Amino acid sequence: MSVQERKERERAVRERLIVATARELAEQQGWDAVTTRRLAERIEYSQPVLYSHFRGKREIIGAVALEGAAEMAAALRAATSAVDDPRARVTALAHAYLDFAASSPAVYDALFQLDGGLAFAQEDTPELLKDAFAALLESLEEVAGGGVHPGVFTEVFWASLHGFATLTRSGRLPPEYAERRVELLVDRLAMV
């Protein structure tokens, strides 16, 4: 029994190593550079080992996304918890979101841009993803305004931030007015 337990433990360690290495490589050189060959070489195993942990590259992206969702939720809560004023809290939330997207672009892509095989906005959505959305909602529901569904309001705010993040990083939005865009968005969307 103990032998099997040790093996399972070692397998789990190696699986975390794969995910961490994939993430590291993606942040360093982009997801295009995360090939199964390079990834295998970095973890010092052969390619087929990857497929004994994940069905394919997509699932590895999904694993990085889940890890990222947890970190993002934590970052959002950390940035908002110390702020008392509801409106200021929303501003802090927006900045924390955009900072996360800018400082961890590969993780952000795994979450919101690439196909990691994860279900969103459904029953079988992983709890970590639901919780990341919940982290947004917690700061947003109180400024949604009367008669507006907090979930829908959160979706609108989130989609806007997502647009900022992706269009800015791909060079389609100029960086110079980033702050004014955030101010305008919060000013107009947040009631009170």
Partner DNA sequence: GATTCGATGCTAGCACCGCTAGACAAGGGA
Partner DNA sequence: TCCCTTGTCTAGCGGTGCTAGCATCGAATC
Q: Which residues here bind DNA, judged by CB under 7 A?
A: 3-4, 7, 34-38, 45-49, 51-52, 56-58
* DSSP-based three-state secondary structure for 81: helix
Residue 189 burial class via C-beta count within 10 angstroms: exposed 0-12, middle 13-18, buried 19 and up: middle
| Stated length of the chain | 192
Q: Which tokens is 178 given?
A: 């980033």
Residue whose CB is less far from DNA, 11 or 149:
11
- Measuring CA to CA, which residue among 91, 55, 47 is closest to residue 190? 91
* DSSP-based three-state secondary structure for 114: coil
The distance of closest approach from Cβ of residue 150 to a copy of itself in the complex, given in angstroms and rounded to an integer, is 11
Residue whose CB is less far from a copy of itself, 12 or 159:
159
Positions touching a copy of itself (CB under 8 A) are 112-113, 115, 119-121, 148-149, 151-153, 155-156, 158-164, 166-167, 170-174, 177, 180-181, 184-185, 188-189
The distance of closest approach from Cβ of residue 109 to DNA in the complex, given in angstroms and rounded to an integer, is 15
Encode burial over 40-56: b for 16+ CB neighbours within 10 A, e otherwise.
beebebeeeebeebbee
The distance of closest approach from Cβ of residue 143 to a copy of itself in the complex, given in angstroms and rounded to an integer, is 11
The distance of closest approach from Cβ of residue 152 to a copy of itself in the complex, given in angstroms and rounded to an integer, is 5
Q: Which does 52 bind (CB under 5 to 8 A by kind): a copy of itself, DNA, none?
A: DNA
